[in-house]
Amino acid sequence: MTIRHLVILVLLLGVISACGSGPTPPEMTAQALGQSISLTATAGANSGFDAQAELATAVAQATANADSIAATQSAQAGVNAEAMAATATAEAPIRSELPTYGIDPANGHVAWIHPPAALSVTGYLKYDYVNQFIGTVAENFVVSADITWDTQYGTSGCGLVLRSNGNEDALSQYLVIATRGANGHIVFSSMENGKLRNGIDSYANYLDPKFRTENGATNRLTVVGRGNTLTIFTNGVQIDQVVAGEQPVLVLPSAPTPPPVDASTDQLAEFDGAMAAHGDLVTRITNNYNPGLAIIQAETPYFERGFVALVALSESGTTNCEFNNAWLWVIDK
């Protein structure tokens, strides 16, 4: 970690202290995670990788050759007809998954399908990232991955780097990190020109009944980026939506579906129980929620395009993140 990053960390710890009697310990833990996440450097840390040159080149190529990216990449890789057929087969489940996120599979193309990847980091505020297609720039996109974790501390996490400029000296990027902390949270964080802008803590375990937090558990993390809107899903359930230029809003779970008119006594009793549980859940979320849970109460900056990567962050101890079935879909304009 550089001296600049350590200075940022000290400032961020001051932000935590300034929270005073606001959030409860679990929420403070989630804030600390978000602040730690914001120190993550991505492509610029890769020796010999000129992030700015790569970004400029990639953007220019993407603009000039948007209609032929897939064919160009196939030609460069020397992909033969059999391999292209295999690629089409591999893309089929991706296309079938897209409607879950409100995306028309006819609008766009697969930018990459990432091979299985494992990241392991040990120590205080350590991180690592991977993307074998780091030269690919995403503007409007869907990125998704199955994440299996094994962490010593719940405030460590695994997730995604989005629209990063890759410039470690003036890092601008979004990060979306899944964490075991407080029974499962998603932390969205943004940096602009190397400075923390904001962080948003979402209660994944309250909204997604399939979200699992034990070590060895697997959750699917997906982000849809369209213009200034980033929509976050876990296991196919929308967890949050971040709009650049706006402050965070509270997301509440939907109420149970009412029983039919001719419902039995048991059905009515079941519905009453579900409504009571829903009311308790809404109260719990509302009581814990405060716009001040944003690490810094500022609007989310708008980054138009950038690199995407898979990332692991260790708050302390050892963090192991496995990424499977990871892919990036680029939405055509």
Does residue 267 sit within a domain?
A: no
| pLDDT number for residue 48 | 45
Q: Are 197 and 12 in contact (CB under 8 A)?
A: no
| Sole residue written with tokens 């959030």 | 23
Q: What is the CATH number of the domain that holds 155?
A: 2.60.120.560
Which pLDDT value is given to residue 45?
A: 39
pLDDT of 257? 87
Report d(CA 8, CA 14) in Å as an integer: 10
Cα separation, 81 vs 87, whole angstroms: 10
Tens place of pLDDT for every residue, the chain, 333 residues?
Answer: 333 333 333 333 333 333 333 343 333 333 444 444 444 333 333 434 454 555 555 455 544 544 454 555 555 555 555 655 666 688 899 999 999 999 999 999 999 999 999 999 888 877 788 888 878 899 999 999 999 999 887 778 899 999 988 877 788 889 899 988 778 888 888 888 877 777 777 888 888 989 999 999 999 999 999 999 999 999 999 998 988 876 656 667 778 889 999 999 999 999 998 888 888 877 766 665 554 444 445 678 889 999 999 999 887 789 999 999 999 999 987
Please check whether residue 15 lies inside any domain of the structure.
no
Please give the pLDDT value at position 237.
Answer: 94
User: Domain limits at 175?
Assistant: 24-250+289-330
Report yes or no on 282 lying in a domain.
no
Residue 2's pLDDT is 38
Q: What is the pLDDT of residue 288?
A: 58
- With respect to residue 263, please indicate whether it lies within any of the assigned structural domains: no
How many structural domains does the chain have? 1
Q: What pLDDT shows up at residue 281?
A: 75
* Residue 216 within a domain: yes
Q: Is residue 214 part of a domain?
A: yes
Q: What is the pLDDT of residue 102?
A: 94
Rg of the chain in Å (alpha carbons)? 21
**Structure confidence at residue 229 (pLDDT):** 94
Whose CA is closest to 42, among 119, 149, 141, 142?
Answer: 119
For residue 262, is it within any domain? no
Are 147 and 168 in contact, with CB atoms under 8 Å apart? no
273 assigned to some structural domain:
no
Backbone angles phi, psi at 258, to 5 degrees: -60, 150
